[in-house]
Amino acid sequence: MSHRIVTLPGDGIGPEIMAPTLELLRAVGDFEFEEHLFGGASIDAHGVPLTDEVLDACRRSDAVLLAAVGGPRWDTTDPDRPRPEQGLLGLRKGLGLYANLRPVKPLPALYDASPLRRERIEGTDMLVVRELTGGIYFGEKTRTATSASDICSYTTAEIERIARTAFGAARAKVTSVDKANVLETSRLWREVVSEVHSREFPGIALEHVLVDNAAMQLVSSPRDFDVILTENMFGDILSDEAAMLTGSIGMLPSASLGGESASGDAAGDGRGPGLFEPVHGSAPDIAGRAIANPLAMFLSAAMLLRHGLELESEAAAVESAVQRALDAGLRTPDLGGDAGTAQATRAVLDNIE
């Protein structure tokens, strides 16, 4: 059976890493790809970063694969002008994608590429579970000539559903990150996470850590983490910090999934399509130079296969091919080497089994 995947190349290096990723997917299965404009490219063509037609196409798909959005040509502080990132927020909201999963597992071949010492990152294997559709990014915003405000708010149901995702993914321990010594939303967060833990997941250990402490522990003892659970903005920051443990943000994939409504009920006819994308941005400084690292995009495709389409063996084949290529010496410029996008793609394709 052919699976229909909507592809959103986006901006900057996005199209450059999308094309080889589709070549990789064709090597492991039968897929139908439907490409659409998104982000800055959509602003240039349609005046908005996400059109209703593209959102509808994403809803009808089996999975959505996104490369990158944004760039300096669309940067603006004018609230009345569209920004590429608004398309990403709209896509997450429109598809009900409340759970962002970012695995962080430095590969032995890249231990020496990390800014941290090898002995500090050896054995690190964590998952950052970030709440994606609530918090300060989606709260009411105000702006006057002399002041501005952004409201951060969460409901009990929103916290419960992301907590269940984190506990369900944990092997042994969930570290819930908040700022409960200062923020009322964090106090509610801590209370609700504790209730879900005691009621539904008593066999999993739970610890609460303040976000500033968590940021320090990520670089001092990253192997101590199993699953990190946190709200939208904290998760945005901590997951980018954790990405550097791998040696480059160009190595980190992500999956955004849904399943429950904000009230805690099942969303429609079960879970809708997931969104899969590398954590890195559009890297406009290297766009068009054919040197972009496609590996995070390849690993995002593996997450699409596993979490979006339930194709475990195909996902494992992609991940194994990436690891074997790195073991054999593949290094892109961000990893201290000189392999371009095409060379990196060939190295991975040659290792597909």
* Fold of domain 99-247: Isopropylmalate Dehydrogenase (3.40.718)
Could you give the 3-state DSSP secondary structure of residue 32? Answer: strand
- Please pick, among 56, 112, 125, 212, the residue that the annotation labels catalytic: 212
E strand or H helix at 6: strand 3-10
Q: Which residues pair with 254 in a beta bridge?
A: 277
Domain boundaries of the chain, sorted by first residue: 1-95+273-353, 99-247
- Please pick, among 93, 105, 173, 179, the residue that the annotation labels catalytic: 179
Q: What is the CATH number of domain 1-95+273-353?
A: 3.40.718.10
Say what the pTM is.
0.87
Answer for the pair 304, 274: CB distance below 8 angstroms, yes or no. yes
Known active-site residue 240:
yes
What are the backbone dihedrals phi and psi of residue 315, each rounded to the nearest 5 degrees, phi first? Answer: -60, -45
- Please pick, among 137, 150, 173, 224, the residue that the annotation labels catalytic: 137
Q: In angstroms, how far apart are the furthest CA atoms of the chain?
A: 60
Of 93, 38, 94, nearest to 65 by C-alpha is 38
Task: Compute the 3-state secondary structure of the chain and give helix, strand, coil in percent, each to the nearest 5.
Answer: 45, 20, 35
Strands of 105-231 (E only): list them. 126-131, 141-143, 148-150, 173-178, 205-210, 227-230
SS (H, E, C) 101-127: EEEECCCHHHHHHCCCCHHHHCCCCEE
Task: Look up tokens 């409901």; give the residue.
Answer: 155
Known active-site residue 78:
no
Known active-site residue 112:
no
Which residues, including other chains, have CB under 8 Å from residue 275's CB and lie 6 or more apart? 58, 63, 64, 66, 91, 92, 95, 97, 255, 256
What are the backbone dihedrals phi and psi of residue 251, each rounded to the nearest 5 degrees, phi first? Answer: -110, 0
Known active-site residue 179:
yes
> Tens of pLDDT along the chain (353 residues)?
689 999 999 999 999 999 999 999 999 999 999 999 999 999 999 999 999 999 999 999 999 999 999 999 998 877 788 999 999 989 988 999 999 999 999 888 888 888 888 888 998 999 999 999 999 998 999 999 999 999 999 999 999 999 999 999 999 999 999 999 999 999 999 999 999 999 999 999 999 999 999 999 999 999 999 999 999 999 999 988 888 888 777 788 999 999 654 444 434 334 579 999 998 899 999 999 999 999 999 999 999 999 999 999 999 999 999 999 999 999 999 888 999 999 999 999 999 98
Known active-site residue 150:
no
